[in-house]
Amino acid sequence: MPSSDIVSEVNVVDVPIALDQSNKEVSAGYEFNGSDARIESADKVLTL
């Protein structure tokens, strides 16, 4: 039976930009109004 693998490569330069934009979206979202919701990164680990 044939198989296929999916490989995803991340451009590490774009990660901080994407995290910043995501945090802006979360802070502006009605669903998270008044909460301490955020996305953080440290050593290739994302924390929601």
Q: Is residue 7 part of a domain?
A: no
Assess if residue 19 is contained within a domain: yes
Residue 40 lies in a domain: yes
Q: What is the pLDDT of residue 17?
A: 93
pLDDT (tens digit per residue) in 1-47: 678 888 888 888 898 999 999 999 888 888 888 888 888 888 878 88
| Number of domains the chain contains | 1
In the prediction, which pLDDT does 37 show? 87
Q: Which residue has the tokens 């009605």?
A: 30
Q: Is residue 5 part of a domain?
A: no
Contact 47, 41 (CB under 8 A): yes
Token pair listed for 13: 């330069």
pLDDT score of 21? 94
Residue-number span of the structural domain to which 23 is assigned: 15-29+36-47
1 domain residue, yes or no: no
Whole-model pTM?
0.65
Q: Distance between CA 3 and CA 37 in Å, rounded?
A: 39
| pLDDT at res. 1 | 67
